[in-house]
Structure 1
């Protein structure tokens, strides 16, 4: 797991391929915030991004997920949320695949949390269980950009 803020991107010491992707002008906070909701996938690219509004909820009502083939880069564009997570490898835990590469953990162990505000991002590698969209106080509206980066993209450029 890596966390940082788009305005201080160099401080996150990201792998070069991720740093280059997030440093693009079209991925700055103002540009992403101004972009319409929906999916972005440039022609010929294997990564994609989904921009959408959401609503936070009490952690007890939120699911915990992990992925096997994709990294998640979750960027908060508006609002505030808490994301609970574990640095342990969840790929050996019992989980249900609800969508392609979306595995839901029944009894997660999430000893860590990060509070996100606009411009903050968190990156989860395959196997890192995370529970996003947890409310800070009362449930509230947020808007996020979620980049899905195929693991092969990092391995090919390593």
Structure 2
């Protein structure tokens, strides 16, 4: 897991491939904030980005997920959320595959949390369990860009 802020991207010490994605001129924070809801992909790229609004809720009501084939970069465009996570490998743990490469853990053990606000991002590598969209003080709308990056280009 790597966390950072779009305004201080070099401080995040991202691998070159992820730095190139987040520093791409078409995906600056300001440009992402101006996009309509939807899926965005640069021609020829194997990675893509989903932009949209979501509702935060109490952690007890949120599922914990992980991926095997893709890395997530979750970037806050507006609002705030807490993402709970663990520094363990969830691959091989008891989980249900809800859709391709989206595994929901049956009995997650999350030991950490990170508060994200506008411009903040966090990466979750394949196998890293995470519980997104946990509310800060009360349920609220958060606007996010979620980049899906195949593990082969990491």
CA distance in 2, matches of 1:120, 1:26: 18
Superposition pairs of residues 87-126 of structure 1, within 5 angstroms: 87-126=87-126
CA distance in 2, matches of 1:73, 1:10: 16
Aligned length: 154
* Corresponding residue number in structure 2 for 1:146: 146
CA distance in 2, matches of 1:80, 1:16: 27
Report the TM-score when normalising by structure 1: 0.96
1:9 maps onto 2:5 in alignment:
no
Alpha-carbon shift at residue 45 of structure 1 (Å): 1.1
Report the TM-score when normalising by structure 2: 0.98
Structure 2 residue runs of 5 or longer lacking an equivalent are none
* Corresponding residue number in structure 1 for 2:134: 134
Query: Which secondary structure does the structure 2 equivalent of 1:128 belong to?
Result: coil
CA distance in 2, matches of 1:52, 1:36: 7
Alpha-carbon shift at residue 42 of structure 1 (Å): 1.7
1:34-69 deviation line (CA, Å, top 9, x unaligned): 011100012211101000100000000000000000
1:71 maps onto 2:71 in alignment:
yes
Alpha-carbon shift at residue 141 of structure 1 (Å): 0.6
* Corresponding residue number in structure 1 for 2:44: 44
